[in-house]
Amino acid sequence: MNKKNNDIINRPLFITSCIACIVLGTLLHFAYDFFNKSFLVGLFTPVNESVWEHLKLVLIPITLFGIIYSLIYRKSSYKLNSFWYYTSISIILSMIIIPIIHYLYKLIFKDISSFFDITLYIISIIISFFYIYINMKKQYQNVSNINKNATGIIIITSLFLLFIIFTIYPPRLELFKDPTNNTFGIYLL
């Protein structure tokens, strides 16, 4: 791996970005109330305490990281052939880890603490960034010409659409239910 490509997979940038995503996700947790329950803000931030709504705290910051990262390296001599693909898979990975561990913990211990949920969120973001970093590093070592970015962008766009739809019209499933008041979605149905 030459030095020019090595700076694209810069470890300090990934660590800093990971921390920034954790902080941004934490701030986004409070954005809906801060903006007086704005409908538009609610489409992209949690509108209640359901597990589903809190998965937005993974999607939004990591997608924002992807946009910023792509802009920083858009003029690089090395193409980011699969960056969006790995980013989309990392988001899905976190979105699988969070509910599985959350509900497994709840099944075993009957109650969920805020500390546990916050820790789970932080760990899922770290896993996402680790996944992107490792796969991008492998890509640069193998110098793949296969461009999977379109697939990644389609996946992320689909996730955004799902979150918008299910925020407005949530299925009546445990994943979508606010445990504090037994409501669903932005309209508190």
Is 80 exceeded by the pLDDT of residue 140? Answer: no
Q: Is residue 145 very low, low, confident or very high in pLDDT (cuts 50, 70, 90)?
A: low
**Rounded to an integer, what distance in angstroms lies between the CA atom of residue 189 and that of residue 185?**
7
Is 90 exceeded by the pLDDT of residue 143? Answer: no
Average pLDDT over the chain reads 86
> By C-alpha distance, which of 157, 90, 158 is closest to 124?
90
* DSSP element (H, E) containing 90: helix 83-109
Q: Which amino acid is at 103?
A: Y
**Rounded to an integer, what distance in angstroms lies between the CA atom of residue 36 and that of residue 116?**
27
Cα separations in angstroms, 120 against 55, 66, 102? 11, 22, 8
Tell me the percentage of the chain whose pLDDT exceeds 90. Answer: 58
Q: Write the DSSP string, 60-77.
A: HHHHHHHHHHHHHTTT-S
Q: Which amino acid is at 100?
A: I
pLDDT value at residue 135: 85
**pTM summary value:** 0.86
Tokens describing residue 111: 């109650």
Is 60 exceeded by the pLDDT of residue 7? Answer: no
Mind listing the pLDDT tens digit for each residue in 70-108?
Answer: 887 776 655 667 888 999 999 999 999 999 999 999 888
- Which of residues 43 and 112 earns the better pLDDT score? 43
Q: Is residue 137 very low, low, confident or very high in pLDDT (cuts 50, 70, 90)?
A: confident
Q: What is the 3-state secondary structure (H, E, C) of 96-126?
A: HHHHHHHHHHHHHHCCCCHHHHHHHHHHHHH
**Rounded to an integer, what distance in angstroms lies between the CA atom of residue 126 and that of residue 20?**
11
* Backbone phi and psi for residue 153, each to the nearest 5 degrees, phi listed first: -65, -40
pLDDT value at residue 53: 95
